[in-house]
A and B are shown apart, each in its own frame.
Chain A
Amino acid sequence: MENYIIAMGVSAGIYALMALGMNIIWGMAGLINLGLVGFFAVGAYTSALLTVKFGLPIVVGVMAGGAAAALVGVIVSLVTVRMRGDYLAIVTLGFAETIRVFATNEIWLTNGSDGISGIPGPFRGALTPVEFNSLYLAIMVVVVAVAYVLVERLSYSPFGRVLRAIRDDEQVAAVAGKQVLLYKVQAFALGSVALGVAGALYGHYTSYIAPDIFVPLLTLYIKLALLAGGVGNSKGAVLGAFVVVFFLECTRFIVPLIPAITPVQGAALRELIVSVSLLVILRFRSGGLIPEARSHLVVPAALPAPTRS
């Protein structure tokens, strides 16, 4: 049982890392990206191929995974630069599906739908499963902590201020003297690094990746995590990721206790419980569990308290 809980901790860590990436792209810059899982897949495949086929160290693989995802992020953001809202949503969704179809069909590179197995994990051979999971959890904690600090730095910086300005009104941000395109590309790239690293770490943890892991549902779970936790808030992103994993896993135990339902109905019920919980959270806390800060001062300032007008 404790092994299961540790494994869920690792999952939550990977979700948290993705939610932090999403927080830069969507939370700060307001760019809709329904293709998260595509960047996650790029990171996972890059690191898996480099470590399995070329025998490179895991650390190098993970960094390359982040870099590859960032590169793809730059390309996707340049292609979609004139799109906003729904259009951007559809194109990014299509992008993620393209990655999945590519991974299924380009067998020479990705081994197709059989996936890549035997992806190395740190000291996997030398440790018992519980020890390995514990080590991995420790690694995830460190990685998420570092990502959290970096995203917070960005959030409380003039750079973050420009992203939030673009989220509110692109045209006015341009008149304010900001090169909007450059910031959008940077936001996409930075967020993609987190997504790519998350994907790479996922592969090294489970030792196996295949195209059918990278389905749009994962994107929705991350979006849900950020919505529940608080869009535009790094603490919220991490908390939201834990809440989502907690609900997804809890329901696994609760649903079988309900009498007279079939396993298929049970699976549907789990999704239902997760969506109802989100609705309840958003009904009573529209900004999420930890809403975005009112103001993001870079240096402290003595200001009069906001007046009610």
Chain B
Amino acid sequence: MSLLEVRGVTRSFYGVHALNGVDLDVEPGKITGLIGPNGAGKTTLFNCISGLVPADGGSIRFDGTDITRLRPDQVTRSGLVKTFQIARGFPRLTVLENLLLYAPDQPGEHVGAALLRSRAAVAREREIMAKAVEIAAMLNLSHVLANKASDLSGGQKKLLEIGRALMSEPKLILLDEPAAGVNPTLVREIGEKLREIVARGVTLLLIEHQMDMIARLCDHVIVLAEGRRLLEGSFEEVAGNHEVQQAYMGRRA
């Protein structure tokens, strides 16, 4: 059974059809690539799945439950988290705080427990702190844990984005261009980290424009064009397809 099932999802912005009934499936334990030309609706689809932009129609099922109408915080708590394309986040929080924030089930986020400094809140804080330190080590962010997130380099921000997603203990991460605007060495490094994450049992769906990264990482590739799924298959199948080439390059007159 697939982990994520998207069926007939539509979304328009002021009459422009960004999504025209998208169907797709994400199999657990794999890296699925989502590619397509600019304006194909990839980011909109991510926003619909994660609850940031409600879908106009269609249904989205995750891990056996319908998440179509859930708020973003509910989607994240159900085990599906998305990252942002342009590394966004909390510039005035430290890297450590950025990570801690994403941890679920912190009783200290309730006013009462916060005012009383409850034992459960302090214990949970120690737990998630240990986890944050471990994730930071995996992503080579240990030395900048005490820095403000705004002080990080572009590449470090991308890594923090992945680290934050991991802190939410997800089953599925939607990665929106994890390697955009990053130097080739770091692209390779990010690719290795993603493999490591999948080895830990997390499933990934990633939007990416760097085809070598898609070729290297993805078990399965889905092509989106003009708000619809055009095709899916292995990278070789997809890359050799005439329609896909036309969607990217345009038609010969």
- Point out residues on A near B: beta carbons under 8 Å: 150, 153-154, 157-162, 164-165, 167-169, 171-180, 186, 190, 294-299, 301, 303-307, 309
Contact = CB atoms under 8 A, between A and B. Distances in A.
B89 A172 contact: yes
B97 interface: yes
B114 interface: yes
B164 interface: yes
A287 to B, nearest CB: 11
Interface string B104-121: 101011110111010001
Contacts of A168: 89-93
Output the residue of A157, A160, A161, A295 with the most chain B CB within 10 A: A157
10 contacts: A160-B114, A161-B101, A168-B91, A169-B88, A171-B72, A175-B50, A175-B84, A294-B94, A295-B94, A301-B96
A305 B146 contact: yes
B122 interface: yes
A295 B164 contact: no
Interface stretch (B6-14, B147-155, B229-237, B243-251): B147-155
B109 A295 contact: no
Query: Which 3 residue pairs of A and B lie closest in terms of their CB atoms, listed nearest first?
Result: A158-B108, A157-B114, A159-B114
A303 B102 contact: no
Interface stretch (B19-27, B30-38, B75-83, B219-227): B75-83
A298 B120 CA distance: 13
Contacts of A297: 96
Contacts, number: 136
Contacts of B92: 164, 167-168
B73 A304 contact: no
A177 B164 CA distance: 11
Contact size range, B: 35 or more
Interface in B120-139: 121-122, 125-126, 129, 133
A303 B146 contact: yes
A186 to B, nearest CB: 6
Contacts of B110: 159
Given A162-B101, A168-B92, A299-B125, A304 B142 contact: yes
A298 B108 CA distance: 10
B166 to A, nearest CB: 12
B88 A172 contact: yes
Contacts of A179: 71, 73
A301 B126 CA distance: 9
A158 B127 CA distance: 13
A153 B108 CA distance: 11
A309 B151 contact: yes
A173 B108 CA distance: 16
A46 to B, nearest CB: 22
A230 to B, nearest CB: 14
Nearest to A298: B125
Nearest to B148: A294
B143 interface: yes
A169 B121 contact: no
B145 interface: yes
A158 B153 contact: no
B211 interface: no
